[in-house]
Amino acid sequence: MFSLFKKAAKLATKRSKKDVKSQTILEKILIITIANQKGGVGKTTTAINLASALALAKRKVLLVDLDPQANTTMSYMQGEVELEQSTYAWLCDNPEDLSAAFSQTSVEGLTLAPAHISLARVEQQLQGDLEAPYRLKDVLSKVASDFDFVIIDTPPTLGLLTVNAMVASSQLIIPIQSSYFAMEGTDDLLDTVEKIKRRTNPNLEIMGVVVTMYDKRTVLGRDILAQIREVFGVKVFQTVITRNVRLEESPAYKESIFSFAPKSSGAQQYMKLGREVLKRVS
């Protein structure tokens, strides 16, 4: 038991020195995690289209898919992703060529780091590894210097993948669906954020909450929006994402909303959200 504590203390000292170096590099890049442990809230839709909006605003953007379902990846790529060219390799295989996971998208300035279903095995693979929560941070400190923004799409859980994303990030955006169960799970998410701020990443901040799938025609929708704004105050983005068929269709055609339906309300809203993000970080 004593040897285990000694090993942990030695690792903590080594980790502290490593973190200073990594943080110096990552401070030049804005890394934003899109997270909510509740599924079906428009998390992936927000990651895809916010990243595209920032790229269209002439920023260089890396979109990292950390979700084993790989919906972000399928929205841009044809065919199956090779294991050694995915974010799984980043976290578990320690490849020499980290940029092998990069795939150029149809959006100029937007690069994708694709997911593989094997991400579902990450927790089991890294069990007992004291450095497991820092894997993504270490990778990004080596590959993200060519980008202005890194946007990370996470699974609908608060497991090791989401923790890796938060440890590596400076900002968090929380999509919340405008529905009866909108606030379900947000307490656990906020509690996780506070624990990460205390223990592993004091620089993590909640940039904002974006309300998705809003239907202004219903009394319930308007009531839920008011409730979210009452709870989160100025953290709620002014831009609200309404229900939009085009947003649901665009991934099937391997396009962002801006090329698939540039005049749709979804395109206009995500472009406005991109501008809000740029304004908040300036």
pLDDT tens readout for residues 205-245: 999 999 999 988 889 889 999 999 999 999 999 999 999 89
pLDDT at residue 10 in the model: 54
In degrees, rounded to 5, the angle at the alpha carbon of residue 193 between the alpha carbons of residues 196 and 189 is 135
Selection from 102, 85, 197 nearest residue 140 by Cα: 102
Could you tell me the domains of the chain? 31-281 (3.40.50.300)
pLDDT at residue 181 in the model: 82
| pLDDT band at residue 182 under the 50/70/90 scheme | confident
**The model's pTM:** 0.90
> What are the tens digits of pLDDT across the range 42-96?
999 999 999 999 999 999 999 999 999 999 999 988 778 888 889 999 999 888 8
Selection from 252, 244, 233 nearest residue 269 by Cα: 244
Mean pLDDT of the chain, nearest integer: 89
pLDDT at residue 8 in the model: 45
pLDDT at residue 80 in the model: 80
| pLDDT band at residue 278 under the 50/70/90 scheme | very high
Selection from 194, 231, 192, 191 nearest residue 211 by Cα: 231
Whether 4 has a pLDDT exceeding 70, the answer reads no
Structural tokens at position 28: 């030049």
With contact defined as beta carbons under 8 Å apart, do 76 and 61 qualify? no
CA distance 88 to 105: 19
Whether 21 has a pLDDT exceeding 50, the answer reads yes
Residue range 135-146: mean pLDDT, rounded: 94
Selection from 143, 87, 152 nearest residue 120 by Cα: 87
With contact defined as beta carbons under 8 Å apart, do 276 and 238 qualify? yes
Burial annotation 102-118 (CB, 10 A radius, 16+ → b, else e):
ebebebebbbbbbbbeb
